[in-house]
Structure 1
Amino acid sequence: MQVDADSFLSGSSRRWVAHYRKNLDRDWQIPWSSGTALTSGEKQRIAASIAEFQRGEASEAQDYLGKSSAFSTVARDPDFHAASILFVAEENAHAALLLRFMQETAIATRQHSFSDVVFRWLRSIGDLGWSSRVLLIAELIAQDYYPCLRAATNHAALHRICDKIEYDEKAHVRFQTERIARLEAGRSDPAVGLRRGLQSVLLCGAIVVVYLEHRPVLRARLSFGKFATTVLRRNRRAQRAINANRRCM
Protein backbone atom coordinates (compact mmCIF):
# COMPACT_ATOMS: atom_id res chain seq x y z
CA MET A 1 0.00 0.00 0.00
CA GLN A 2 2.88 2.37 0.72
CA VAL A 3 4.13 2.04 -2.87
CA ASP A 4 0.68 2.91 -4.16
CA ALA A 5 0.46 5.90 -1.84
CA ASP A 6 3.88 7.15 -2.90
CA SER A 7 2.90 6.79 -6.55
CA PHE A 8 -0.29 8.74 -5.96
CA LEU A 9 1.50 11.55 -4.11
CA SER A 10 4.35 11.96 -6.59
CA GLY A 11 1.81 11.80 -9.42
CA SER A 12 -0.08 14.67 -7.84
CA SER A 13 3.11 16.76 -7.75
CA ARG A 14 3.81 16.01 -11.41
CA ARG A 15 0.27 16.97 -12.39
CA TRP A 16 0.61 20.34 -10.68
CA VAL A 17 3.94 21.04 -12.32
CA ALA A 18 2.32 20.28 -15.68
CA HIS A 19 -0.68 22.47 -14.81
CA TYR A 20 1.41 25.51 -13.91
CA ARG A 21 3.67 25.15 -16.93
CA LYS A 22 0.69 24.85 -19.25
CA ASN A 23 -0.91 27.87 -17.62
CA LEU A 24 2.18 29.93 -18.41
CA ASP A 25 1.41 29.53 -22.12
CA ARG A 26 -2.27 30.48 -21.84
CA ASP A 27 -2.89 33.78 -23.63
CA TRP A 28 -5.57 35.79 -21.84
CA GLN A 29 -5.42 38.52 -24.49
CA ILE A 30 -5.57 41.38 -22.03
CA PRO A 31 -6.67 44.45 -24.03
CA TRP A 32 -4.08 46.92 -22.83
CA SER A 33 -4.69 49.09 -25.91
CA SER A 34 -8.46 49.16 -25.70
CA GLY A 35 -8.52 52.86 -24.93
CA THR A 36 -10.72 52.29 -21.89
CA ALA A 37 -10.19 54.79 -19.11
CA LEU A 38 -11.20 54.79 -15.48
CA THR A 39 -13.69 57.42 -14.46
CA SER A 40 -12.78 59.49 -11.41
CA GLY A 41 -15.49 57.65 -9.46
CA GLU A 42 -14.17 54.23 -10.47
CA LYS A 43 -10.62 55.21 -9.57
CA GLN A 44 -11.69 56.49 -6.18
CA ARG A 45 -13.64 53.28 -5.57
CA ILE A 46 -10.82 50.82 -6.36
CA ALA A 47 -7.48 52.60 -5.90
CA ALA A 48 -6.72 51.82 -2.25
CA SER A 49 -8.19 48.33 -2.51
CA ILE A 50 -6.33 47.20 -5.62
CA ALA A 51 -3.08 48.59 -4.22
CA GLU A 52 -3.51 46.48 -1.08
CA PHE A 53 -4.25 43.31 -3.05
CA GLN A 54 -1.37 43.97 -5.41
CA ARG A 55 0.93 44.20 -2.41
CA GLY A 56 -0.48 40.93 -1.09
CA GLU A 57 0.06 39.08 -4.37
CA ALA A 58 3.73 40.11 -4.52
CA SER A 59 6.06 38.01 -2.37
CA GLU A 60 9.34 36.15 -2.72
CA ALA A 61 7.86 33.64 -0.23
CA GLN A 62 11.30 32.62 0.97
CA ASP A 63 10.01 31.02 4.18
CA TYR A 64 7.34 29.05 2.31
CA LEU A 65 9.79 27.89 -0.35
CA GLY A 66 12.36 26.95 2.28
CA LYS A 67 9.82 24.70 4.01
CA SER A 68 8.77 23.27 0.64
CA SER A 69 12.36 22.46 -0.30
CA ALA A 70 12.93 20.68 3.03
CA PHE A 71 9.75 18.62 2.69
CA SER A 72 10.52 17.79 -0.94
CA THR A 73 13.94 16.43 0.07
CA VAL A 74 12.56 14.29 2.90
CA ALA A 75 9.70 13.00 0.71
CA ARG A 76 12.08 12.35 -2.22
CA ASP A 77 9.64 14.19 -4.47
CA PRO A 78 11.46 16.96 -6.36
CA ASP A 79 8.29 17.80 -8.28
CA PHE A 80 6.68 18.85 -5.00
CA HIS A 81 9.11 21.77 -4.68
CA ALA A 82 9.02 22.49 -8.41
CA ALA A 83 5.26 22.96 -8.10
CA SER A 84 5.79 25.30 -5.14
CA ILE A 85 8.14 27.47 -7.17
CA LEU A 86 5.67 27.63 -10.05
CA PHE A 87 2.80 28.44 -7.68
CA VAL A 88 4.72 31.39 -6.20
CA ALA A 89 5.66 32.55 -9.70
CA GLU A 90 1.99 32.53 -10.70
CA GLU A 91 1.08 34.65 -7.67
CA ASN A 92 3.85 37.08 -8.60
CA ALA A 93 2.51 37.19 -12.15
CA HIS A 94 -0.82 38.34 -10.70
CA ALA A 95 1.02 41.10 -8.85
CA ALA A 96 2.78 42.13 -12.06
CA LEU A 97 -0.50 42.35 -13.99
CA LEU A 98 -2.12 44.44 -11.26
CA LEU A 99 0.97 46.66 -11.09
CA ARG A 100 0.90 47.29 -14.84
CA PHE A 101 -2.77 48.20 -14.66
CA MET A 102 -2.07 50.55 -11.75
CA GLN A 103 0.78 52.21 -13.63
CA GLU A 104 -1.35 52.72 -16.73
CA THR A 105 -4.18 54.25 -14.70
CA ALA A 106 -1.97 56.31 -12.35
CA ILE A 107 -2.89 54.40 -9.19
CA ALA A 108 -0.19 54.60 -6.51
CA THR A 109 1.34 51.45 -5.09
CA ARG A 110 1.47 50.62 -1.37
CA GLN A 111 4.81 49.89 0.21
CA HIS A 112 3.42 48.79 3.55
CA SER A 113 0.19 47.13 4.65
CA PHE A 114 -0.63 46.11 8.22
CA SER A 115 -2.97 43.35 7.02
CA ASP A 116 -0.27 42.00 4.72
CA VAL A 117 2.30 42.00 7.55
CA VAL A 118 -0.10 40.05 9.80
CA PHE A 119 -0.88 37.57 7.02
CA ARG A 120 2.80 36.93 6.30
CA TRP A 121 3.52 36.48 10.00
CA LEU A 122 0.70 33.96 10.38
CA ARG A 123 2.04 32.08 7.38
CA SER A 124 5.54 31.89 8.88
CA ILE A 125 4.81 30.68 12.41
CA GLY A 126 4.04 27.03 11.69
CA ASP A 127 5.03 24.17 9.45
CA LEU A 128 4.29 23.94 5.73
CA GLY A 129 0.84 22.46 6.35
CA TRP A 130 -0.11 25.47 8.46
CA SER A 131 1.43 27.88 5.92
CA SER A 132 -0.72 26.25 3.27
CA ARG A 133 -3.84 26.70 5.40
CA VAL A 134 -3.10 30.42 5.76
CA LEU A 135 -2.59 30.67 2.01
CA LEU A 136 -5.88 28.84 1.52
CA ILE A 137 -7.66 31.54 3.54
CA ALA A 138 -6.35 34.21 1.16
CA GLU A 139 -7.33 32.19 -1.89
CA LEU A 140 -10.86 31.56 -0.65
CA ILE A 141 -11.35 35.30 -0.17
CA ALA A 142 -9.74 36.11 -3.51
CA GLN A 143 -12.29 33.97 -5.33
CA ASP A 144 -14.99 36.44 -4.29
CA TYR A 145 -12.88 39.61 -4.27
CA TYR A 146 -11.80 39.56 -7.92
CA PRO A 147 -15.31 39.18 -9.39
CA CYS A 148 -16.29 42.19 -7.25
CA LEU A 149 -13.28 44.16 -8.51
CA ARG A 150 -14.31 43.25 -12.04
CA ALA A 151 -17.82 44.57 -11.41
CA ALA A 152 -16.55 47.80 -9.83
CA THR A 153 -15.38 49.34 -13.15
CA ASN A 154 -15.96 49.12 -16.89
CA HIS A 155 -12.24 48.90 -17.68
CA ALA A 156 -11.67 46.16 -20.28
CA ALA A 157 -8.10 45.32 -19.22
CA LEU A 158 -9.04 45.06 -15.55
CA HIS A 159 -11.96 42.80 -16.45
CA ARG A 160 -9.63 40.38 -18.19
CA ILE A 161 -7.05 40.50 -15.41
CA CYS A 162 -9.75 39.62 -12.90
CA ASP A 163 -10.93 36.76 -15.12
CA LYS A 164 -7.41 35.32 -15.17
CA ILE A 165 -6.79 35.67 -11.44
CA GLU A 166 -10.17 34.18 -10.56
CA TYR A 167 -9.43 31.21 -12.85
CA ASP A 168 -6.00 30.71 -11.28
CA GLU A 169 -7.28 31.01 -7.72
CA LYS A 170 -9.80 28.22 -8.25
CA ALA A 171 -6.89 25.94 -9.15
CA HIS A 172 -4.88 27.25 -6.20
CA VAL A 173 -7.61 26.15 -3.81
CA ARG A 174 -7.46 22.61 -5.21
CA PHE A 175 -3.65 22.76 -5.05
CA GLN A 176 -3.64 23.74 -1.38
CA THR A 177 -6.30 21.23 -0.33
CA GLU A 178 -4.26 18.38 -1.83
CA ARG A 179 -1.09 19.65 -0.18
CA ILE A 180 -2.63 20.15 3.23
CA ALA A 181 -3.98 16.61 3.15
CA ARG A 182 -0.55 15.25 2.29
CA LEU A 183 1.36 17.42 4.74
CA GLU A 184 -0.98 16.57 7.60
CA ALA A 185 -1.48 12.90 6.74
CA GLY A 186 0.62 11.78 9.71
CA ARG A 187 -1.23 13.92 12.24
CA SER A 188 -4.00 12.58 14.44
CA ASP A 189 -7.63 13.45 13.75
CA PRO A 190 -7.83 15.68 16.87
CA ALA A 191 -4.70 17.59 15.81
CA VAL A 192 -6.08 18.13 12.32
CA GLY A 193 -9.42 19.13 13.81
CA LEU A 194 -7.68 21.78 15.91
CA ARG A 195 -5.96 23.19 12.83
CA ARG A 196 -9.26 23.17 10.96
CA GLY A 197 -10.87 25.09 13.80
CA LEU A 198 -8.07 27.65 13.95
CA GLN A 199 -8.27 28.12 10.20
CA SER A 200 -12.02 28.75 10.43
CA VAL A 201 -11.55 31.29 13.23
CA LEU A 202 -8.88 33.14 11.24
CA LEU A 203 -11.08 33.04 8.15
CA CYS A 204 -13.98 34.63 10.05
CA GLY A 205 -11.68 37.39 11.23
CA ALA A 206 -10.33 37.88 7.73
CA ILE A 207 -13.84 38.14 6.30
CA VAL A 208 -14.66 41.01 8.67
CA VAL A 209 -11.36 42.83 8.10
CA VAL A 210 -11.43 42.44 4.33
CA TYR A 211 -15.01 43.63 4.03
CA LEU A 212 -14.36 46.67 6.20
CA GLU A 213 -11.19 47.59 4.29
CA HIS A 214 -12.50 46.83 0.80
CA ARG A 215 -16.17 47.67 1.17
CA PRO A 216 -16.35 50.06 -1.84
CA VAL A 217 -15.20 47.24 -4.16
CA LEU A 218 -17.06 44.35 -2.55
CA ARG A 219 -20.34 46.26 -2.53
CA ALA A 220 -20.27 46.20 -6.34
CA ARG A 221 -21.62 42.63 -6.05
CA LEU A 222 -21.96 41.51 -2.45
CA SER A 223 -23.39 42.66 0.84
CA PHE A 224 -21.42 41.70 3.94
CA GLY A 225 -23.82 38.85 4.64
CA LYS A 226 -23.53 37.45 1.13
CA PHE A 227 -19.74 37.83 1.13
CA ALA A 228 -19.43 36.01 4.46
CA THR A 229 -21.84 33.29 3.39
CA THR A 230 -20.10 32.55 0.09
CA VAL A 231 -16.58 32.53 1.56
CA LEU A 232 -17.61 30.26 4.43
CA ARG A 233 -19.34 27.93 1.99
CA ARG A 234 -16.12 27.72 -0.03
CA ASN A 235 -14.22 26.96 3.17
CA ARG A 236 -16.55 24.06 4.00
CA ARG A 237 -16.04 22.63 0.53
CA ALA A 238 -12.27 22.98 0.89
CA GLN A 239 -12.34 21.24 4.27
CA ARG A 240 -14.35 18.37 2.81
CA ALA A 241 -11.79 18.08 0.01
CA ILE A 242 -8.94 17.96 2.53
CA ASN A 243 -10.69 15.19 4.46
CA ALA A 244 -11.39 13.23 1.27
CA ASN A 245 -7.76 13.52 0.17
CA ARG A 246 -6.52 12.43 3.60
CA ARG A 247 -8.57 9.25 3.29
CA CYS A 248 -6.74 8.44 0.05
CA MET A 249 -3.34 8.48 1.78
Structure 2
Amino acid sequence: EAITPDMLRDALKAKHYEAVTIVHNETSTGVQNPVEELCRVVHETSPDTLILVDAVSSLGGVKIDMDACGIDFLLTSSQKCLALPPGLALASASDRAMKKAESVTNRGWYFDLLLMEKHRIKDSTPMTPAMPLIFALDFQLDRILAEGLDARFARHTAMSKKVQDWCMAHGMEPLAKPEYRSRTVVTVKNDLKWDISALNKFLKTRDMRIANGYGKLKDLSFRVATMGETSLKDIDMLLEGFADFMKQ
Protein backbone atom coordinates (compact mmCIF):
# COMPACT_ATOMS: atom_id res chain seq x y z
CA GLU A 1 0.00 0.00 0.00
CA ALA A 2 1.14 3.53 -0.75
CA ILE A 3 1.25 6.33 1.78
CA THR A 4 -1.68 8.56 0.86
CA PRO A 5 -2.02 12.31 1.46
CA ASP A 6 -4.89 11.70 3.90
CA MET A 7 -2.79 9.29 5.97
CA LEU A 8 0.02 11.82 6.22
CA ARG A 9 -2.32 14.72 6.96
CA ASP A 10 -3.91 12.80 9.84
CA ALA A 11 -0.50 11.96 11.30
CA LEU A 12 0.67 15.58 11.13
CA LYS A 13 -2.51 16.85 12.77
CA ALA A 14 -2.14 14.34 15.62
CA LYS A 15 1.46 15.22 16.46
CA HIS A 16 4.20 17.66 15.49
CA TYR A 17 7.30 16.25 13.81
CA GLU A 18 10.65 17.90 13.12
CA ALA A 19 10.93 15.93 9.90
CA VAL A 20 8.95 13.63 7.66
CA THR A 21 10.77 10.96 5.68
CA ILE A 22 9.28 9.72 2.41
CA VAL A 23 10.40 6.67 0.47
CA HIS A 24 9.65 7.71 -3.09
CA ASN A 25 9.95 4.27 -4.64
CA GLU A 26 9.72 0.98 -2.73
CA THR A 27 11.53 -1.78 -4.63
CA SER A 28 10.17 -4.68 -2.57
CA THR A 29 6.51 -3.94 -3.36
CA GLY A 30 6.78 -1.94 -6.58
CA VAL A 31 4.99 1.03 -4.99
CA GLN A 32 5.76 4.62 -5.98
CA ASN A 33 4.53 7.01 -3.33
CA PRO A 34 2.94 10.29 -4.56
CA VAL A 35 5.81 12.48 -3.40
CA GLU A 36 4.47 15.72 -4.90
CA GLU A 37 1.12 15.36 -3.12
CA LEU A 38 2.75 14.29 0.13
CA CYS A 39 5.09 17.27 0.10
CA ARG A 40 2.12 19.56 -0.51
CA VAL A 41 0.38 18.13 2.56
CA VAL A 42 3.43 18.75 4.74
CA HIS A 43 3.73 22.38 3.60
CA GLU A 44 0.02 22.99 4.18
CA THR A 45 -0.36 21.15 7.49
CA SER A 46 3.03 21.56 9.19
CA PRO A 47 5.11 24.17 7.34
CA ASP A 48 8.10 24.04 9.68
CA THR A 49 8.51 20.26 9.29
CA LEU A 50 11.48 19.24 7.14
CA ILE A 51 10.91 16.86 4.22
CA LEU A 52 13.49 14.12 3.64
CA VAL A 53 13.10 11.93 0.55
CA ASP A 54 14.66 8.55 -0.18
CA ALA A 55 15.02 8.52 -3.97
CA VAL A 56 17.44 5.60 -4.08
CA SER A 57 15.53 3.66 -6.73
CA SER A 58 13.77 6.50 -8.53
CA LEU A 59 16.17 9.37 -9.26
CA GLY A 60 17.32 9.11 -12.85
CA GLY A 61 14.25 7.13 -13.89
CA VAL A 62 11.42 9.33 -12.64
CA LYS A 63 11.13 13.12 -12.66
CA ILE A 64 11.60 14.66 -9.20
CA ASP A 65 11.38 18.45 -8.99
CA MET A 66 13.06 19.06 -5.65
CA ASP A 67 12.52 22.82 -5.65
CA ALA A 68 8.89 22.70 -6.77
CA CYS A 69 8.10 20.06 -4.13
CA GLY A 70 10.00 21.93 -1.44
CA ILE A 71 12.10 18.90 -0.52
CA ASP A 72 14.74 19.67 2.11
CA PHE A 73 16.97 16.64 1.72
CA LEU A 74 17.01 14.14 -1.12
CA LEU A 75 19.20 11.04 -1.11
CA THR A 76 19.99 8.53 -3.83
CA SER A 77 22.64 6.00 -4.73
CA SER A 78 24.64 5.07 -7.78
CA GLN A 79 23.54 1.50 -8.45
CA LYS A 80 19.87 1.88 -9.39
CA CYS A 81 18.53 4.22 -12.07
CA LEU A 82 21.92 5.87 -12.60
CA ALA A 83 23.14 2.43 -13.71
CA LEU A 84 26.54 2.53 -12.02
CA PRO A 85 28.27 0.10 -9.66
CA PRO A 86 27.32 0.51 -5.99
CA GLY A 87 29.49 2.72 -3.83
CA LEU A 88 28.28 6.31 -4.12
CA ALA A 89 25.69 8.10 -2.01
CA LEU A 90 24.43 11.29 -3.64
CA ALA A 91 22.40 13.95 -1.87
CA SER A 92 21.02 17.45 -2.22
CA ALA A 93 20.12 19.70 0.72
CA SER A 94 17.97 22.83 0.83
CA ASP A 95 18.96 26.07 2.53
CA ARG A 96 16.45 25.21 5.25
CA ALA A 97 18.13 21.85 5.88
CA MET A 98 21.55 23.50 6.06
CA LYS A 99 20.25 26.04 8.56
CA LYS A 100 18.80 23.23 10.66
CA ALA A 101 22.18 21.52 10.62
CA GLU A 102 23.74 24.64 12.13
CA SER A 103 21.58 24.17 15.23
CA VAL A 104 22.77 20.59 15.80
CA THR A 105 25.75 20.50 18.15
CA ASN A 106 26.84 16.89 17.67
CA ARG A 107 26.55 16.32 13.95
CA GLY A 108 29.07 13.50 13.95
CA TRP A 109 31.51 13.15 11.08
CA TYR A 110 30.04 11.06 8.31
CA PHE A 111 26.74 12.94 8.05
CA ASP A 112 27.94 16.46 8.82
CA LEU A 113 26.31 18.54 6.09
CA LEU A 114 28.21 21.68 7.08
CA LEU A 115 31.54 19.88 6.77
CA MET A 116 30.53 18.53 3.38
CA GLU A 117 29.44 21.98 2.21
CA LYS A 118 32.70 23.52 3.42
CA HIS A 119 34.59 21.16 1.15
CA ARG A 120 32.07 21.26 -1.70
CA ILE A 121 32.57 24.95 -2.35
CA LYS A 122 36.26 24.15 -2.82
CA ASP A 123 35.44 21.27 -5.23
CA SER A 124 36.66 18.82 -2.62
CA THR A 125 35.37 16.23 -0.14
CA PRO A 126 36.03 15.71 3.59
CA MET A 127 37.48 12.27 2.94
CA THR A 128 38.79 10.33 -0.03
CA PRO A 129 35.86 9.28 -2.24
CA ALA A 130 35.70 6.30 -4.61
CA MET A 131 37.43 8.11 -7.45
CA PRO A 132 36.76 5.52 -10.19
CA LEU A 133 33.04 5.83 -9.44
CA ILE A 134 33.24 9.63 -9.54
CA PHE A 135 34.69 9.45 -13.04
CA ALA A 136 32.09 6.83 -14.01
CA LEU A 137 29.33 9.11 -12.71
CA ASP A 138 30.66 12.03 -14.73
CA PHE A 139 30.62 9.87 -17.86
CA GLN A 140 27.17 8.43 -17.14
CA LEU A 141 25.59 11.84 -16.51
CA ASP A 142 26.73 12.88 -19.99
CA ARG A 143 25.02 9.77 -21.40
CA ILE A 144 21.83 10.55 -19.50
CA LEU A 145 21.75 14.12 -20.76
CA ALA A 146 22.47 12.91 -24.30
CA GLU A 147 19.41 10.64 -24.14
CA GLY A 148 17.39 13.56 -22.76
CA LEU A 149 15.67 13.56 -19.38
CA ASP A 150 12.13 13.51 -20.79
CA ALA A 151 13.04 10.64 -23.12
CA ARG A 152 14.68 8.73 -20.29
CA PHE A 153 11.66 9.13 -18.02
CA ALA A 154 9.34 8.08 -20.86
CA ARG A 155 11.44 4.97 -21.51
CA HIS A 156 11.19 3.90 -17.89
CA THR A 157 7.42 4.39 -17.97
CA ALA A 158 7.10 2.44 -21.22
CA MET A 159 9.21 -0.46 -19.93
CA SER A 160 7.25 -0.83 -16.69
CA LYS A 161 3.92 -0.60 -18.52
CA LYS A 162 4.98 -3.27 -21.00
CA VAL A 163 5.82 -5.70 -18.18
CA GLN A 164 2.60 -4.88 -16.31
CA ASP A 165 0.46 -5.31 -19.43
CA TRP A 166 2.08 -8.63 -20.35
CA CYS A 167 1.65 -10.04 -16.86
CA MET A 168 -1.99 -8.97 -16.64
CA ALA A 169 -2.67 -10.46 -20.07
CA HIS A 170 -1.30 -13.77 -18.78
CA GLY A 171 -3.23 -13.89 -15.52
CA MET A 172 -0.89 -12.16 -13.08
CA GLU A 173 -1.55 -8.84 -11.36
CA PRO A 174 1.00 -6.24 -10.24
CA LEU A 175 1.11 -6.01 -6.46
CA ALA A 176 0.61 -2.23 -6.32
CA LYS A 177 -2.58 -0.39 -7.18
CA PRO A 178 -2.58 1.16 -10.68
CA GLU A 179 -2.20 4.75 -9.48
CA TYR A 180 0.82 3.88 -7.32
CA ARG A 181 2.79 1.51 -9.56
CA SER A 182 6.50 2.12 -9.82
CA ARG A 183 8.10 3.08 -13.12
CA THR A 184 11.45 1.54 -12.22
CA VAL A 185 10.52 -1.89 -10.84
CA VAL A 186 7.47 -4.09 -11.38
CA THR A 187 6.46 -6.38 -8.53
CA VAL A 188 4.02 -9.02 -9.74
CA LYS A 189 1.84 -11.41 -7.75
CA ASN A 190 2.92 -14.94 -8.58
CA ASP A 191 -0.65 -15.94 -9.41
CA LEU A 192 0.52 -18.71 -11.75
CA LYS A 193 2.67 -20.17 -8.96
CA TRP A 194 5.85 -20.16 -11.01
CA ASP A 195 8.94 -21.75 -9.49
CA ILE A 196 11.05 -18.58 -9.43
CA SER A 197 14.31 -20.49 -8.96
CA ALA A 198 13.51 -22.67 -11.98
CA LEU A 199 12.52 -19.58 -13.94
CA ASN A 200 15.83 -17.92 -13.19
CA LYS A 201 17.76 -21.05 -14.18
CA PHE A 202 15.87 -20.98 -17.46
CA LEU A 203 16.51 -17.25 -17.97
CA LYS A 204 20.19 -17.67 -17.13
CA THR A 205 20.62 -19.62 -20.37
CA ARG A 206 19.67 -16.36 -22.07
CA ASP A 207 21.87 -14.19 -19.83
CA MET A 208 18.92 -12.76 -17.92
CA ARG A 209 17.43 -13.05 -14.46
CA ILE A 210 14.73 -11.50 -12.30
CA ALA A 211 14.39 -11.08 -8.54
CA ASN A 212 12.23 -13.15 -6.24
CA GLY A 213 9.83 -11.45 -3.87
CA TYR A 214 11.39 -9.85 -0.81
CA GLY A 215 10.91 -11.15 2.75
CA LYS A 216 7.38 -12.45 3.31
CA LEU A 217 6.66 -11.94 -0.37
CA LYS A 218 9.28 -14.48 -1.45
CA ASP A 219 7.80 -16.93 -3.99
CA LEU A 220 4.46 -15.13 -3.65
CA SER A 221 5.72 -12.44 -6.01
CA PHE A 222 8.61 -11.65 -8.31
CA ARG A 223 10.26 -8.43 -9.39
CA VAL A 224 11.41 -7.10 -12.75
CA ALA A 225 13.76 -4.13 -12.85
CA THR A 226 12.81 -1.57 -15.51
CA MET A 227 15.53 0.94 -14.72
CA GLY A 228 18.88 2.32 -15.72
CA GLU A 229 20.21 1.30 -19.13
CA THR A 230 17.65 -1.46 -19.62
CA SER A 231 15.96 -1.00 -22.98
CA LEU A 232 12.57 -1.87 -24.42
CA LYS A 233 14.36 -4.50 -26.50
CA ASP A 234 15.69 -6.06 -23.29
CA ILE A 235 12.16 -6.15 -21.90
CA ASP A 236 10.88 -7.79 -25.09
CA MET A 237 13.56 -10.48 -24.75
CA LEU A 238 12.63 -11.06 -21.11
CA LEU A 239 8.93 -11.40 -21.87
CA GLU A 240 9.76 -13.80 -24.68
CA GLY A 241 11.68 -15.79 -22.10
CA PHE A 242 8.63 -15.79 -19.81
CA ALA A 243 6.48 -17.08 -22.65
CA ASP A 244 8.93 -19.86 -23.53
CA PHE A 245 9.17 -20.86 -19.86
CA MET A 246 5.39 -21.26 -19.76
CA LYS A 247 5.52 -23.64 -22.72
CA GLN A 248 7.66 -26.15 -20.84
TM-score normalised by L of structure 2 = 0.22
Q: Pick the structure with greater CA Rg.
A: 2
Per residue, is there more strand in 1 or in 2?
2
Q: Which structure carries more helix by proportion?
A: 1
